[in-house]
Structure 1
Amino acid sequence: MRKIVLFGFIILFFVQCASIKKHNKHLNDLITEEKLKSDVDYTYRKLQELHPNLYWYINKEALDYKFDSLKSTITKPMTSFNFYKKLSPVVAAVRQGHLFVYPPTKILTKRETRALIKKGTGPFSQFDFELFNKKLYVVKNKSYNKTIQSGTEVVAVNGTKPIDLIKKYNQYYSSDGYNNTFKTNYSGKRFSTFFSNENGIKDSLKFDFKFNDSLKTITIKRKKEDTTGTDSKKNKKKRAVKHKTKSKEIRKKKRVNGYYSIEKNYNRNLHFLEKDSSIALMKIRSFKIGDYKTFYKESFSKITAYQSKTLILDLRNNGGGRVSEIADLYSYLADSTFVFLDKSEVVSKASLFKGAYLNGGSLGFKALKTVFSPIMYTYLLLTVHKSQNGKNYYETQTKPHKVSKNAFKGKIYVLINGGSFSASSIISSNLKGSKRAFFVGEETGGAFNGTVAGFMPRIKLPNSDIQIRIGLMYMAAYFKTNLEGHGIFPDMEIIPTIEDRIKENDAEMSWILKDLKSSF
């Protein structure tokens, strides 16, 4: 049996490698007009079959026109990448942030990835970038060249002006609805991805930098890890002995809080800002990894024991994650029994079954799913119901929840910005609608009145091999607003400047601490 399983893994490995080689080999192939137009029709058909609320922000006539117009512009064969540039703006017109067209780029094998990592940290990864007033700045320098200061403007990279590329790529994706904060927040951090899509992964880049009106050109190469000095074998052994006693504690923290090994930080953190622990600060980077139930149980137990009077919940740049987690967190923040979500709209039982369950995965995994498909379809028959309005609904987090034993009863501040998206916007909608919290920062990237997400399969177009991620469930918090297509607005708007980044000044947090002092 063991040999059969091993043989199966070997077969899957070679199938995957062959698939990657085939993908990379045909990236520059020209695809005929007929096949490209067929992919346009396939895209629209899949959106209609799978995407609930497709015409939320654009009416059917307007979207029909965009797809028809797209086909009329396809007059000659083109590569899949050039087709992506034509297709993605049309899909982005739906104005749903989870609906996303992936650019067809070279895929690295595991061996190639390991070899690249061995060569060292890439030039882009040695900096953190942000966009301020339509200019790209270095906000953190992690490179070997320490002359590049925080607040240095990136004028060009290998001759490409950042704002030109950012404007181009901003057409290819959308936020939820009409807000602009999501793209402003997202595009600066993702400039390196945009550049790599166009030019491939580079071992060195020529940066044109500007600081205090002084221009200079610097070439940044891959940075290899320093294996000398403080990282010698002797020092490593000393550190290993030192940390051995704490290893069990560290392992638990990584498991519970969630740990990002690349960034070397925790997904969830709880700190107390005053000596008397009167102010608790909870930073949550995402609602994805880690044992959230244990984290919130232990954290709110501490907050209760320390008798903290104020909780600051930092959801800035939190791109979302599990609905079960935000419902659990809300049970510690609500002041009474609550309903967390409305019923989630889906196109049909088949849209969940075919779109989410049967779609995607390896050949072996697909075969396994086929065996259990009768059980899954039976489950969907019992959980997806057609309402009197003719729409189908999947119920999750719709029953009344009781507040948790150690629910926080004090004052709550929530920090938000354009990077607060998806699940972080859903919990913010309930906190805002129930008037349970005071919001500081800028409008969220996710919409107040919900988003189309939940199950999000990637659909591969048959001729161009382009993949499109489609949300299958319209999910909305219990509370709503009359203003459609916008996020949660702050009660106190504070937008950080490049000067704040240079001085490492957290403007939003500073305002909260001043507000607390003035209220005493």
Structure 2
Amino acid sequence: MKRTKRPATWAWLRIACWVLLVVRTPLAWAQKQLPVVRATARSVDVRDGGIVRKGVWNLSPEIRPDIYYVLEPVRPRRITFYTDIDSLSFDVVPGQNYDFLIVLNKTDTCYTRIETAKPVVQTQASSDPLKRFSVDQVRQDFTLFCENLRQQHAGLYRYRSKKEMDRLLDSCHATLSHSMTSTEFSNTIRFVISAIGCGHTNCSLPAELMDWYGTSAKMFPLQLWFSGRKAFSLCTSRTGIPAKSEVTAIDGRPIDEIRQTLFRYLPSDGRIQSRKYWIMNRDGFPFLYRFIYGDKTAFRVTYKTPTGAIQTTSLSADSLKNTSCFQYNSGSEKLLQLTYTADNVALLTIKTFSNDRLKASRDDFETFLKTAFKELQAKNVSRLLIDLRGNGGGDDVNGSLLYSYLTTKPFAYFASLQSTTQTFLNKTDHPGLEMQNPSENNYKGAVYFLIDGLSFSTTADFCAIAKSNHRGTFIGEETGGGYAGNNSGEMFRITLPNTAIRISIPKIRYANAVKKVTPDDRGVIPDYPVNPTINELLQKRDVALEFAVDRARMRKRSK
């Protein structure tokens, strides 16, 4: 018979090493008593923390191990694999891996591992609007966003049930199925925040990118003023569209359809819309229109001229600096002021409750109020207008202090404060939880409150107490902050690691000590709604103040 040559020693070593490499993984897994889950179909669902990923996992017996990477690896979470006939759960902690077997059709063994990768290194923020992020990157950022909402946001379920919010978050996660720019991804975040119904919850693009949008990006070239279901051109500019023209459509979309769409991406307390109008009118529209409808080089605009003619024109996109042409009337530059009309109607203007802002302008709120109300008493004033328009809030105690000058009886201000972990009910937790006493020189005459969509946070709290106690007449617009309370106080801030989007989440849920009203998701509703027409706006008339002064004078004549 023919003899074969025996391999050299080094050849045997190569063969042995190759055999070890082939069998190493199964042998290592065989040494463990691993959990087993059964399956008859290759498609597997995975619940990763609060996110259900339908059909995300396909069984591949040839891959050993087949690794599932946790969406958000820096926090403990429960991971559950759902096959068509079985399921298996693991309580996963960062830095650990979890091995198990999935037996497919009783014959094929799938060696599976849940792996927690190292925490993501923070991405360097970019000003490039076209930079794209992978599906895994945006999903990881979204999962981190959701986890922090659930852990930190005290009012996450204020207007929606947990079941509704979970369904919303799951559906939004499902849309993250392709690579995205940070702007595109931020639209998903904005949609969620708007749905929460919390005006203090915010997201913002990286500062570098926002600077690019503000200085270099081409946007819708016409400054618009939205009022009700209409929008008007504020000035005759290089576009050739006359001031006061009503814009009825952009690129074939009715203007009110556009407004309603954009409102779904703006934050507010509950269902309040007045603040959303202000955001749109104060340069928010061109940014948000580009974010939602995308980059455009030209726009087809249909409009009705002041004389009633219907026209359509094409406008080229332009930078923001070339489109801003109208400055809104902001009134006095002073943050705190007391003035009088010729017939002794007093006007108390309070533009902020923030002690930081007041300190910067060398004002002291407590001293100002003490002096002002002493003066009102000395002048025997019987009609007082308090202008709170544009007042975005500030320190809680300043709201209760102001009301203490408008009442003769002790009053409750906050009913409760609550975080995700505890409820605060007494004065040791917050001074606003104790009964408040009236201040010396308190005012007993008629009061007229001027409010608008920028009357927010502490300002809305104060207005709610005054409204609930029937202390005066409210004139103007619905407050931008909720009547029943808001979510604010201490803020939790995080920058998402991949897209560098910045998130702000309020940690305290405030409940105002007010009488219940229906619906409970609105602001303080004015007794007399007053909004300017486009002509009055361009003339810079303060029609709400004019109306309030007239009401005060009518009261004087009726006595």
TM-score class normalised by the smaller sequence: 0.5 to 0.7
Task: Give the distance between the partners of 1:276 and 1:59, measured in 2 at CA.
Answer: 53
Q: Deviations over 1:383-408 (max 9, x none)?
A: xx6579xx9x9424222333222322
Equivalent runs, 1:75-154 vs 2, <5 Å: 75-104=177-206, 106-107=208-209, 129-138=224-233, 151-153=244-246
Which one of 384, 388, 392 corresponds to residue 315 of structure 1?
388
Q: Deviations over 1:443-497 (max 9, x none)?
A: 2222111000112232222222212211111123222323211111222333433
Task: Give the distance between the partners of 2:339 and 2:180, measured in 1 at CA.
Answer: 57
Task: Give the distance between the partners of 1:429 and 1:284, measured in 2 at CA.
Answer: 16
**Aligned residue identity for 1:465:** A
Query: CA 1:274–1:67 in structure 2 vs 1: closer, same or farther (change >3 Å)?
Result: closer
Question: Which residue number in structure 2 is paired with residue 22 of structure 1?
Answer: 124
Q: Deviations over 1:420-451 (max 9, x none)?
A: 22211100011011111121233222211100
**Aligned residue identity for 2:350:** I
Aligned-residue offset at 1:155: 6.7
Aligned-residue offset at 1:265: 4.7
Question: Which residue number in structure 1 is paired with residue 51 of structure 2?
Answer: none
Task: Give the distance between the partners of 1:491 and 1:33, measured in 2 at CA.
Answer: 50
Q: Is the CA contact 2:412–2:513 (under 8 Å) kept in the aligned structure 1?
A: yes
Q: Is the CA contact 1:427–1:477 (under 8 Å) kept in the aligned structure 2?
A: no
Q: Which moved more, 1:55-64 or 1:210-219?
A: 210-219
Question: Which residue number in structure 2 is paired with residue 451 of structure 1?
Answer: 486
Task: Give the distance between the partners of 2:349 and 2:312, measured in 1 at CA.
Answer: 38
Aligned-residue offset at 1:414: 0.8
Q: Identify which of structures 1 and 2 has the higher relative contact order when contacts are C-alpha pairs closer than 8 Å and 6+ apart.
A: 1
Q: Is the CA contact 2:198–2:269 (under 8 Å) kept in the aligned structure 1?
A: yes
Aligned-residue offset at 1:52: 1.1
Greater Cα radius of gyration, structure 1 or 2: 2
Task: Give the distance between the partners of 1:21 and 1:74, measured in 2 at CA.
Answer: 19
Equivalent runs, 1:8-407 vs 2, <5 Å: 22-24=124-126, 27-104=129-206, 106-107=208-209, 129-138=224-233, 151-153=244-246, 166-189=259-282, 190-194=284-288, 210-213=305-308, 265-277=332-344, 279-288=345-354, 289-290=357-358, 291-293=363-365, 294-348=367-421, 394-407=429-442
Task: Give the distance between the partners of 2:465 and 2:227, measured in 1 at CA.
Answer: 30
- Structure with greater strand percent: 2
Q: Is the CA contact 1:280–1:312 (under 8 Å) kept in the aligned structure 2?
A: yes
Task: Give the distance between the partners of 1:174 and 1:430, measured in 2 at CA.
Answer: 23
1:436 aligns with 2:471: yes
Query: CA 1:466–1:413 in structure 2 vs 1: closer, same or farther (change >3 Å)?
Result: same
Aligned-residue RMSD, C-alpha? 4.3
- Structure with greater helix percent: 1
Question: Which residue number in structure 2 is paired with residue 367 of structure 1?
Answer: none
Task: Give the distance between the partners of 1:199 and 1:181, measured in 2 at CA.
Answer: 23
Structure 1 unaligned segments of length 5 or more: list them. Answer: 1-18, 224-261, 349-384
Task: Give the distance between the partners of 2:276 and 2:542, measured in 1 at CA.
Answer: 21
Question: Which residue number in structure 2 is paired with residue 423 of structure 1?
Answer: 458
Between the aligned residues of both structures, percent identity stands at: 25
Q: Which moved more, 1:398-407 or 1:44-53?
A: 398-407
Q: Is the CA contact 1:454–1:471 (under 8 Å) kept in the aligned structure 2?
A: yes
Q: Taking structure 2 as the reference length, what is the TM-score of the superposition?
A: 0.63
Q: Is the CA contact 1:292–1:325 (under 8 Å) kept in the aligned structure 2?
A: no
Total equivalences in the alignment = 415
Q: Is the CA contact 1:150–1:502 (under 8 Å) kept in the aligned structure 2?
A: no
Aligned residue for 1:470, secondary structure, equals strand
Q: Is the CA contact 2:124–2:500 (under 8 Å) kept in the aligned structure 1?
A: no
Query: CA 1:157–1:80 in structure 2 vs 1: closer, same or farther (change >3 Å)?
Result: same
Aligned-residue offset at 1:123: 11
